[in-house]
Amino acid sequence: SAGGASGGGVRFELEKETELRFEVEAGEKVQLELLSGLAEVFGSELTRNKKYTFGSGSKIAVFTWHSCSVSLTGKTEVAYVSRDTPMLLYLNTHAALEQMRQQAERDNERGPRVMVVGPTDVGKSTVCRLLLNYAVRLGRRPTLVELDVGQSGVSVPGTVSALCIERPADVEEGFSVQAPLVYHFGSTSPGTNIKLYNKLTSCLAEVFSQRCEVNRKASVGGCVINTCGWVKGSGYQALVHCASAFEVDVVLVLDQERLYNELKRDLPHFVKVVLLPKSGGVVERNKDCRREARDEKIREYFYGFRGVSFYPHAFDVRFSDVRIYKIGAPSIPDSCLPLGMSQDDTQLKLVPVTPGRDLTHHVLSVSCAEDEGAEAGASGPAAQRRGILESPVCGFIVVTAVDTQAQVMTVLSPAPRPLPRHTLLIMDIRFIDLK
């Protein structure tokens, strides 16, 4: 229930197991303060009398297990208290996972590997954040695996990644992303290159398993995998592939009975498939909203976030100093394929890109793959051998201008010249730097 104003803010008294949901109006900011009691935002506890600021378009829920009073200052699009939340079910899910971790500890086994699935806008990312927060608050060290190439919580869009969670997410900024393992996918929908998507899923699974072998805490902590909202056709097959690559133990299906039944039918019987309701608070986001969120993620990568400002560098890169590839050749009719080659091969092929004006504004991943001597123009087979596809990314740049005459391009880079590596992978994604 909304109460009187306090210091310019609106005060809300929350009873136990209720939540205050609010959305920040476009172009505005809202300050949240916990005045008394205990409360959390997506599993991160609030500190009393600290002012938390949320930017334009943020959609937030302040939940309390006990009861609390909070105040909101600034322009909200909506702000209301709801008693109808699935939080108790989510907490029970966490408790079941924690039991599996305790058992893993006792029996010297590995902890739960959990995949969170469901259509778009059902709160998958939020459930992942919640489960990871509750786990890390108990001293666990779970891993977040981010397979949502459209709205990555870890890196820029067009990537898949893994991140070891060592502390709860910051209430305003989310999980601290100090040393994520990131792979280049190149576009915002897995459907653009499903073979590559599945291959990268396998890569992440392999690296995670290797880490579990040498790091007991990581093994017991297990992982929480966030997936894309594409749950039909090849999108569904990608979920089944992911379940098998990671050997998941638990699948949490949000809000879709059909998907739940399909996965129960298609996954091995020892995989626990659980249907969970979505929260009524999850807000649908339209295309523009998603595009804006993606843009913001790239801007943050170069310019920092709120308190922390980064100062990116702009410099020229000679065409002859780099090798640019696109992953996946356009598909051609089977009858035109060279003997012994399949469509799969074309989707995983590295195609050299000749730099031109159309590179402008494209985001490029700088691959960690070792540069191969001075042998400029190395293409196809040689490049494949070096395993560029399976190499993580060490950073991103944006092409801001191309001068074909001088054979140079100007790039925006988080670090000063020179580039750490010279193999660049082009994304479909573009970023227009307005600063």
Q: Which residues bind ligand ATP (CB under 6 A)?
A: 21, 59-61, 120-126, 148, 151, 229, 279, 281-283
- CA–CA distance from 112 to each of 65, 182, 222, 226, 274 (Å)? 25, 22, 5, 14, 14
| Closer Cβ to ligand ATP, 84 or 206, answer by number | 84
Q: Cβ closer to ligand ATP: 123 or 222?
A: 123
Nearer to ligand ATP, 123 or 221 (CB): 123
Shortest Å, Cβ 275 to ligand ATP:
15
| Token representation of residue 129 | 């954040």
Beta strands in 25-105 (DSSP E): 30-41, 44-45, 51-54, 59-74, 76-82
The minimum distance between CB 86 and ligand ATP, in angstroms, equals 9
- Tokens, residue 44: 């991160």
Cis previous bond, 418, omega within 30 = yes
**Nearest-CB residue for ligand ATP:** 281
- Min CB(34)–ligand ATP separation in Å: 17
Instruction: Compute the least distance from the CB of residue 278 to ligand ATP, in Å.
Output: 8
Q: Which amino acid would we find at residue 289?
A: C
C-alpha 148/C-alpha 370 separation (Å) is 27
Contact in structure between 168 and 193 (CB atoms under 8 Å): no
196, 197, 203, 209: CA torsion to nearest 10? -160
| Residues 245/201, Cβ–Cβ less than 8 Å | yes
306 or 357: CB nearest ligand ATP: 306
Residue 196: CB minimum distance to ligand ATP, A: 20
Residue closer to ligand ATP (CB basis): 14 or 220: 14
Kindly tell me which of 72 and 218 has the beta carbon lying closer to ligand ATP: 72
Backbone φ and ψ of 208, nearest 5° = -65, -45
Of 337, 127, 145, nearest to 222 (Cα)? 145
Taking the least distance from each CB to ligand ATP, the nearer of 131 and 350 is 131
Q: Which is nearer to ligand ATP, 201 or 279 (CB)?
A: 279
Give which of 172, 232, 189 is closest to 52, Cα–Cα. 172
Residue 371 CA: distances (Å) to CA of 333, 355, 383: 34, 19, 10
DSSP single-letter state for residue 193: G
The CB-of-119 to ligand ATP minimum distance in angstroms stands at 8
Nearest to 362 by CA among 313, 416, 400, 418: 400
Q: How far is the CB of 228 from ligand ATP (least distance, A)?
A: 7
Rounded distance, CA 350 to CA 332, Å?
15
Structure tokens at 270: 């020892």
CB nearer ligand ATP, residue 20 or residue 369: 20
Helix (H) or strand (E) holding 287: helix 287-303
| Shortest Cβ 138–ligand ATP spacing (Å) | 22
Closest separation in Å from C-beta 255 to ligand ATP: 9
Nearer Cβ to ligand ATP (111/123): 123
List CB contacts of 116: < 8 A, sequence separation 6 or more.
Answer: 124, 127, 128, 131, 224, 225, 226, 227, 251, 252, 254
Tell me how far, at minimum, the Cβ of 149 lies from ligand ATP, in Å: 10
